[in-house]
A = this chain, B = another copy of it.
Amino acid sequence: MAIGFTGSPLQRLDRERPDLAALARHREDPRALLLRLDGLDPVPDDAGALSWTPLADHDPTVELALLGLLDGRPAFVALTPGVTGKPAFALFRVLAGLPTPDAATWAAARSLVDWHARHRFCGRCAALTEVTRAGWCRRCPACAAEHYPRTDPVVIMLAEHGGRVLVGRQPRYPAGRYSALAGFVEVGESLEEAVARELFEEAGVRATGVRYVASQPWPLPLSQLMLACVATVESDALTIDRDELDDAKWVDRDGVRAALAGAPEAPFVPPPPFAIAHTLLSRWALGEA
């Protein structure tokens, strides 16, 4: 199954972004498209796909970012300041119905709009910055610093011991849901070191080896790169950090399969299919992780 938020058909024109003449051509292209958003959220059309309007309809007082080309047509998003999205549970219902490639295109747009709203001023000198590079950079007119959209690397992992994997429950999860543990990669840390640190802190287990499995961009609430791994651990004795997790437990392959199949006797409710934790559990259950 496709990994959530991947496979966008968008052809990113990143090498062309500094070229003002090319940008003007794309803006004047009569086939140019503007992404429809409800705040920061996608607006599905009647067929359930992401919807677009002609760029000519856009509010000329709002700045634009060039997402790239879609089927050869320039695709833009409006950098509306201060917009917010629906609460996660309402948005997740919309996302569950969106084709994965459309969700991927939306994720890029959402991350970009939200980043601009949070980074209007220069962190170095406090001046109001200006949109440049076709909406993919903000430049400070006072100190000349360039600021680029931010993506935080996050590790998300299954500890593995004796044919079972560890799933945990955060207090904010819906009833019955368990998922892979996760945490931000810090400065001065490799992916593998972040996996080991987080597993020890959250569950008291010591990693002896880390296998990378897959990745996905994740746009909520801020832009993240989710790096999914399986980590073999020394022992299945747990010391759970109750500030982070309500509970954590070991589940075998049959239990994971039952959970993914939605069986009534399953030991937990899995995360939604567009979350890479779902991919990670599926691949592990198939012996592919």
Contact = CB atoms under 8 A, between A and B. Distances in A.
A270 to B, nearest CB: 21
Interface in A51-80: none
Interface residues of A, number: 59
A240 interface: no
Contact of A201 (B14, B111, B151): B14
Interface in A181-229: 184-193, 197, 201, 212, 214-217, 219, 223, 225, 227
A140 to B, nearest CB: 11
B201 A217 contact: no
A190 B216 contact: yes
B126 A191 contact: no
B190 A217 contact: yes
The oligomer's copy count stands at: 2
A48 interface: no
A134 interface: no
A115 B123 CA distance: 10
A229 to B, nearest CB: 9
A217 B189 contact: yes
A283 interface: no
Contacts of A215: 190-192
- The winner among A109, A117, A121, A127 for most chain B CB atoms within 10 A is A121
A3 B212 contact: no
A185 B153 CA distance: 10
Interface string A3-23: 101101000101100000000
